Structures are given as structure tokens and as C-alpha cells.
Amino acid sequence: MRRTRMFFVALAIIGMVLLSCAPKNAKVIGVAKFVSHPALDAIEKGIVDELSKSKSDYKIDLQNANADMNTAAQIAQRFKQEKVALAVGIATPTAQALANQIKDRPVIYSAVTDPVSAGLVSSWDKGGANITGTSDMTPVREQLDLLRSLKDVKRVGNIYSSGEANSVAIAAIVKQYCQENGLEYVESTITNSSEARQAILSIANRIDGLYLGNDNTVFSALSGIAEVALEKKIPVVTADPSSAETIPVLAALGYDYYRMGVATGKIVVRVLNGEKTANIPALLPKDSEDMSFVLNLDTAKKIGISVPQALVDKAKVIISDGQVTRK
């Protein structure tokens, strides 16, 4: 309990420092992330860096919902009451909370897998009346192809949070991919991060490989999942290169989330400069520079997998002998 109290005190201090760095009469930009993990932290940093460079006359109020839907709603209510000039929601649950509360000022979402199915906008081709942002609709099929190229997988495991709309959407794609390729699909759902370790234990003996999509609740507990996977010699491929650099999954293919944060910050600046959100469609980064492929050769050795040289050559980040090498 004391650790939790100290954590929130630290967050409050950080927020006060950020606010104090701006001019006294500056308007406020509220930025809320669903939970702290490497990908969302990288997005937050990218947003802050871009706004600090482009809009130094604005204060930035950083908030963290700690993977709690009620807290996300409370943060949205606070931003509404304080009449922030603009609110940014990092990840689907916080973006939805902001969109539900704030109707009279701009809301920008970041790393929302499917903004249409999440109910944020009606079309990928245009923004809403007061909302737009960036999507991280991850290349699920390519990631599953990667898993199969690393091991002859017949039974694919998938752990995700049943409360995250983005995760439910990705799970449907994974299931369809398995059906199309004659693979057995084995899923385990969770409602909070404390259930993640038990989730993999419940399916570990029934899968040949584990896929993890863009799930914030899962990624906030990735260390525990990776630990069990190593013990059970299960190859894990994820959609989050950021966490894969420090947590021993086998491989990760996905977005460079810092760059996504910068891209989100640029949209914020455009809106603050007077551009209408309705005229800004959801941004889905497509350049190769926006993607990263992390390969952990140390993990491969521990679980008895020989990685093809072709994949080693493609990797942008390689972890070997405890060292991280970037190409």
C-alpha cells in the first residue's frame, strides 16, 4: 500500500514539474495513458518532446490510469472540468474515456488499434467532429508468419484482455489466420495484469508458440509471461519491439512507438494551430522506418531454437550475449 502511495506521489511531482516549466498563463494539454509499459511510455515521451519543441507556450499535464477503467474515466472527467485546451488519450481505453467525456474541445488518440470499432470515428478516411489521431493496427498476419518461420507451430496461443476493444479485434484476426492455415487456436483472456502469469500457465502445455498483440494489460505484465515461456521453452512473438529490448521474448515485430508519439504530437500541433479534426484522417504509419524488428538470440538459445540467418539479417535490433545491437 505504501509503495502505491509513493508511486502516485512521484507522478504528482512529475506533473507539477512539467507544469512549472511552462509560462504561468499557458493553456493546458492533458495527456493520459492507460498504463505504464515501454511502448506507451515511448509514445508519451514522443508526444512531450514534439510538443515541447513546437508548442512551448502550453503546459502538459501527464496522467496515468494504471490499467484501471474507472481511473481513466476520472482522468477524463478532470480534464473536462479543468477545460484543457486539448486532450490526448494514449491507448484505446483512455481514448474512449476522453471521447465519452469531452465533446466541446479536441481529443487526439494515439496507438488505438482500430478507431472505428472502438467507436471513436465512423471512418478511417476522416476524423470526427472533435477527434482524430494515430492508429497502431499491427501487422498481425506478418507477426504470425514470423512465429511460424521460427518454429513449426501447430497450436498457437494468444493471451489478451477481454476488456480492451483493440485486443478483442486482434484476437479475431489471429483466430481467422489459424483457421485459414489449419492451426489450432488456443486463447486465454484476462481482466487485469495480475492474471497474466496464471493465463499462460493455463495454456502452456497446449501450445507450441505464443502470440501477443497490442494489449496494454498484457504488456504491463510481460515479464511474468516471458519467465514462464522460457521455463516451458515456448517461443513468444509480440507486437511490441519496445518491451522486447528488455524482456526476453523471442522476437517482436511492430511499430517504433517513440516515432508514433512524435507523429501524434504533430497532429496535436496541427489542431492547436486551427486545423479541424474532421479533416485529419486516422494516421496509420506505413514507412519501414516506423517499424522495428527485434530478435533475441539469447532467448532462442535457451529454448532450443535455431534462428535462420535470413531472419537475423532482417532484424533491426539483435540481442546476443546480453548486448543490444542496432543496425
* CATH code, domain carrying 93: 3.40.50.2300
Please check whether residues 203 and 302 belong to one and the same domain: yes
| pLDDT of amino acid 23 | 46
| pLDDT of amino acid 25 | 56
Please check whether residues 188 and 307 belong to one and the same domain: yes
- Rounded Cα–Cα distance for residues 19 and 2 (Å): 26
The secondary structure element, H or E, covering residue 237 is strand 236-238
Task: Tell me the three state secondary structure of residue 325.
Answer: strand
Please check whether residues 119 and 268 belong to one and the same domain: yes
| pLDDT of amino acid 327 | 86
Please check whether residues 27 and 85 belong to one and the same domain: yes
Whole-Å CA distances, 43 to 37, 79, 265: 10, 20, 9
- Rounded Cα–Cα distance for residues 116 and 264 (Å): 18
Please check whether residues 185 and 273 belong to one and the same domain: no
For the whole model, what pTM was predicted? 0.83
| pLDDT of amino acid 285 | 87
Please check whether residues 160 and 37 belong to one and the same domain: no
Nearest to 22 by CA among 85, 94, 69: 85
Please check whether residues 152 and 283 belong to one and the same domain: no
Please check whether residues 132 and 155 belong to one and the same domain: no
Please check whether residues 267 and 156 belong to one and the same domain: no
Nearest to 144 by CA among 132, 130, 133, 156: 156
CA 5 to chain centre: 25
Give me the tens of pLDDT residue by residue for the chain, a chain 327 residues long: 444 444 434 444 444 444 444 445 579 999 999 999 999 999 999 999 999 999 889 999 999 999 999 999 999 999 999 999 999 999 999 999 999 999 999 999 999 999 999 999 999 999 999 999 999 999 999 999 999 999 999 999 999 999 888 899 999 999 999 999 999 999 999 999 999 999 999 999 999 999 999 999 999 999 999 999 999 999 999 999 999 999 999 999 999 999 999 999 999 999 999 999 999 999 998 888 899 999 999 999 999 999 999 999 999 999 999 999 998
β-pair type (251-255, 291-296): antiparallel
Q: How many residues does the structure list for the chain?
A: 327
- Rounded Cα–Cα distance for residues 217 and 277 (Å): 29
| pLDDT of amino acid 14 | 44
Range of the domain at 246: 140-255+289-326
Please check whether residues 177 and 296 belong to one and the same domain: yes
Please check whether residues 175 and 310 belong to one and the same domain: yes
Please check whether residues 190 and 283 belong to one and the same domain: no
Residue 278 cell numbers, joined:
474532421
Q: How many domains does the chain have?
A: 2
| pLDDT of amino acid 134 | 97
Phi, psi of 26 (to 5 degrees): -70, 150
